[in-house]
Structure 1
Amino acid sequence: MERLAPNSTGKCIQMCPAREKEMRIRENLIHPLEKVYRSERSVLDPAFMVKSYSRSAAGRHEIPTQDLRPGPVLHTTVEYLLGRVAQNNERPWAEVYDFIFDRLRAVRQDMTIQQMDGPEAITLLEYAVRFYIYAEYRLCEEPIDKYDPKINAQHTQECLKQLLSFYSACDSCSENRVEFESLYLLFNLGQTEALQHYYELPSDIRKDKVLKQTFSICLDYYLRNYIRVLRGLKSECFTQHPLLLCAFHRNLSQLQMNALRIMAHGFSSKALKYPLHHLADQLWFDDSDACVSVCQFCGLQIQDQEWVVFLKTSFREPEKKIQSVHVSGIDSLLCQRPLCKLLLHKDKPIELSVLKQRTDNSCEPPMPVPPCGVFTEYNQASNLSKPQTGRGRGRGRGRGRGRTGQEEKYSMPKGQSERTCQGQVSGVNLLEYESENKTNMCENNMENERVRSEMNATFVKKENKQSVLRNTERFTGESWEEELFTTEDMKIPTT
């Protein structure tokens, strides 16, 4: 069992420990997203390498503090991942998600080992939950070999419960608590445990408008009043917080099937025909074709592509879960907000020069960069080699692949790796730089860095107007309020 000395704090002031940098450069385990573009080409800067997740090793009882990152460094790392890497448009976003997922897991591992709690841990978990929920919606149409929703849901649930426990233990109420209490209710829609948790909250939290409306929707879902649920989600409280709609979206396909089952019994008649376009509007289908596909999947009959015939004898439970699809209304709401604002609640991402300055001011010795030819050949090889498919060698269960998973897909052929790196990088041993004077300097610099990080975080002054979703066809469309939210739709029938 890995452990750390009581009341000890990590001393690594960079996003990746020096020993891991040395090993990964030597073994060619540099992920393409860890490179930066300079002079119109991708080059390696060790300052932008991020610590990868690795499982506990058998017989390893203690972790050196030089391999653990303290709270301010973890905060800077997560800001870099969600504010910069997540906006990468050069590679498929499923690959971007896979990289950030692994690095966030390493961040949470450092938090757990150091037993972090309080406002610092709360902020890191809030960032992680927003990313998981956003990714679940954006990647909902991806095949299982590129994105596993079950694993993502497990980590989301774990972070949410840990976050709520920190809220309860923290004396001062977080300004974002209402947002994440609402996310917890919608993520666990219909669960009695989530409904009971609402009544255990402090009275001042329960009185919040957004949380009260969220609980009302969860109660309507529990009572199987599905049309009222979908109408309630069109209110201004939810259109201003699109992540709440993303958290609900994972339950949308199940809601649609449950609603069709009830209508098949309630409107069961051979002489009755239900208008297809009205059904599509009620159940949040983007068009009639999507509604027809789901109805036929459930055994319902469609006449003239305009009418649905509900018969309780024809309805059948689907053997497979209905595939989740994007909703144009949610897409348009997400497009209206920069990804940095959505995930970090910051107008501008962290400037790369500021991040470089923070890492260069650390106590760790600078990483010697190999000659240009080494990484030039590596870049060419990584562009020509195709990622492995399926469960690659070195992968464990879930997405925690350690150092032989995600990066291994982009390593050079064995012969080329030995030829380019032998005698140039493998001989580097950063431990030679360590001494008592360096250790003392490390502690002083770490304290100064923590003070600077807490006092002021510098961000770029030039507004980033490029949207991360500009090249994604699904993430376009008209404003959802204008497209779907009309005054007539918001009226609840009195009979």
Structure 2
Amino acid sequence: MPGCELPVATCPDMCPAAERAQREKERRLHRFEVAPGCLGDRPRADPQRAVKEYSRPAAGTARGPVDPGLLQAQVQEGFGSLRRCYARGAGPHPRQAAFQGLFLLYNLGSVEALHEVLQLPATLRACPPLRTALAVDAAFREGNTARLFRLLRTLSYLASCAVHGHVAHARRGALARLARALSTPKGQTLPLDFLVHLLALDGPKEARDLCQAHGLPLDGEEGVMFLRGLYREEGLPHAGTCNLLVDSKLRGRTLEEVVMAEEEDEVVDRPESQA
């Protein structure tokens, strides 16, 4: 309208202060968004550099708790898309073995996933990350509890995140096998420390919780009693804290540092032999 000034929009911040604070807390800042001199354990966002993160809820859903089924479908779609890119590309692809290993670990026990990995060239399957993933898959299928959890201890942080969804099922299967082997009418006691070590649990409390969730009575503070007919399975197994198998491997790094790290930097206490 004549004589009227048009409003001029302003953008005082490229990233809202509340989002900056949240991303600082969750350590989700890109290195270019971090204030100079603040690249230590608690990086701070630079208001002049931080940019609002793009995010939106899935179509037709309100923003809120993540749907596990939808999340899994999206992860599988991502795996499929990149695996097709690898198949079409001439290569070489330095990180392909690590990626294919993540694919197999995420789909641990899947016949289809194993079949797809076994179609890869032998030279690729011989690379340490994929060779280890194949060993983990074999131990999981065979019910070789000791070897499985020994291998899980050696996995990198990303690989541990990929396989995390199968840990509770592996522990339940191991406990069921112990119950079949050890349960008697009068009962046999097994030290909780043995379970903690065998199943890579985060301590005696988690071992006690696991046993009680499956109907096994405790024998004092340090043992569990295997009595015939008491073992039971109800609902889905609880994943537990997984500090030893997952969280401890982050070692103070940001997720960006983990993702961008070279494969050699991701290895954690890898044994000399996979046997």
Fold match (TM-score > 0.5): yes
Q: Label 1:215 to 1:335 Cα distance change in 2 as closer, same or farther (>3 A).
A: same
CA distance in 2, matches of 1:101, 1:258: 38
Aligned residue number for residue 47 of structure 2: none
CA distance in 2, matches of 1:336, 1:183: 22
Q: Label 1:222 to 1:161 Cα distance change in 2 as closer, same or farther (>3 A).
A: same
Offset at residue 175 of structure 1 (A): 1.2
Higher relative contact order (CA 8 A, sep 6+): 1
Per-residue CA distance 1:337-395 (angstroms, 9 max, x = gap): 3332212349xxxxxxxxxxxxxxxxxxxxxxxxxxxxxxxxxxxxxxxxxxxxxxxxx
Aligned residue number for residue 125 of structure 1: none
**C-alpha contact 1:167 1:173 (8 A) present in aligned 2:** no
Alignment of 1:53-452 (within 5 A): 102=56, 146-235=65-154, 238=155, 241-269=156-184, 270-345=186-261
Aligned length: 236
Moved more, 245-254 or 325-334: 325-334
CA distance in 2, matches of 1:302, 1:491: 35
Q: Per the alignment, in what secondary structure is the counterpart of residue 316 of structure 1?
A: coil
Letter paired with 1:199 = L
Per-residue CA distance 1:102-123 (angstroms, 9 max, x = gap): 49x89xxxxxxxxxxxxxxxxx
Q: Label 1:100 to 1:249 Cα distance change in 2 as closer, same or farther (>3 A).
A: farther
Letter paired with 1:244 = A
Q: Per the alignment, in what secondary structure is the counterpart of residue 35 of structure 1?
A: coil
Q: Label 1:491 to 1:196 Cα distance change in 2 as closer, same or farther (>3 A).
A: closer
Offset at residue 195 of structure 1 (A): 1.2
Q: Per the alignment, in what secondary structure is the counterpart of residue 241 of structure 2?
A: coil
Letter paired with 1:284 = A
Q: Per the alignment, in what secondary structure is the counterpart of residue 224 of structure 2?
A: strand
Aligned residue number for residue 48 of structure 2: none
**C-alpha contact 2:97 2:130 (8 A) present in aligned 1:** yes
Per-residue CA distance 1:172-197 (angstroms, 9 max, x = gap): 23111011100001000011111111
CA distance in 2, matches of 1:199, 1:491: 18
CA distance in 2, matches of 1:264, 1:168: 45
**C-alpha contact 2:165 2:239 (8 A) present in aligned 1:** no
Q: Label 1:250 to 1:100 Cα distance change in 2 as closer, same or farther (>3 A).
A: farther
Q: TM-score, normalised by structure 2?
A: 0.72
Gaps of 5+ in 1: 1-24, 44-79, 91-98, 107-144, 347-479
Per-residue CA distance 1:201-246 (angstroms, 9 max, x = gap): 01221121221121011011111212211112233xx2xx320111
Q: From the CA coordinates, give the structure whose radius of gyration is larger.
A: 1
Per-residue CA distance 1:3-33 (angstroms, 9 max, x = gap): xxxxxxxxxxxxxxxxxxxxxx99xxx9xx9
Q: Per the alignment, in what secondary structure is the counterpart of residue 326 of structure 1?
A: coil
Offset at residue 336 of structure 1 (A): 4.3
Aligned residue number for residue 422 of structure 1: none
CA distance in 1, matches of 2:215, 2:54: 41
Letter paired with 2:180 = H
CA distance in 1, matches of 2:134, 2:197: 24
Offset at residue 323 of structure 1 (A): 4.2
Q: Label 1:256 to 1:209 Cα distance change in 2 as closer, same or farther (>3 A).
A: same
CA distance in 2, matches of 1:248, 1:176: 18
**C-alpha contact 1:83 1:344 (8 A) present in aligned 2:** no
Q: Per the alignment, in what secondary structure is the counterpart of residue 273 of structure 1?
A: strand
CA distance in 1, matches of 2:251, 2:29: 20
CA distance in 2, matches of 1:160, 1:227: 29
Letter paired with 1:253 = A
CA distance in 1, matches of 2:129, 2:19: 45
Identity of aligned residues (%): 23
Letter paired with 2:253 = R
**C-alpha contact 1:300 1:310 (8 A) present in aligned 2:** yes
Offset at residue 328 of structure 1 (A): 3.5
Q: Per the alignment, in what secondary structure is the counterpart of residue 74 of structure 2?
A: helix
CA distance in 2, matches of 1:324, 1:148: 20
Q: Per the alignment, in what secondary structure is the counterpart of residue 158 of structure 2?
A: helix
Q: Per the alignment, in what secondary structure is the counterpart of residue 250 of structure 1?
A: helix
Q: Label 1:267 to 1:100 Cα distance change in 2 as closer, same or farther (>3 A).
A: farther
Per-residue CA distance 1:390-436 (angstroms, 9 max, x = gap): xxxxxxxxxxxxxxxxxxxxxxxxxxxxxxxxxxxxxxxxxxxxxxx
Q: TM-score, normalised by structure 1?
A: 0.42
CA distance in 2, matches of 1:189, 1:486: 21
Per-residue CA distance 1:272-297 (angstroms, 9 max, x = gap): 21001110121121111111111111
CA distance in 2, matches of 1:274, 1:289: 15
Offset at residue 164 of structure 1 (A): 0.7
Offset at residue 329 of structure 1 (A): 4.8
Q: Per the alignment, in what secondary structure is the counterpart of residue 309 of structure 1?
A: strand
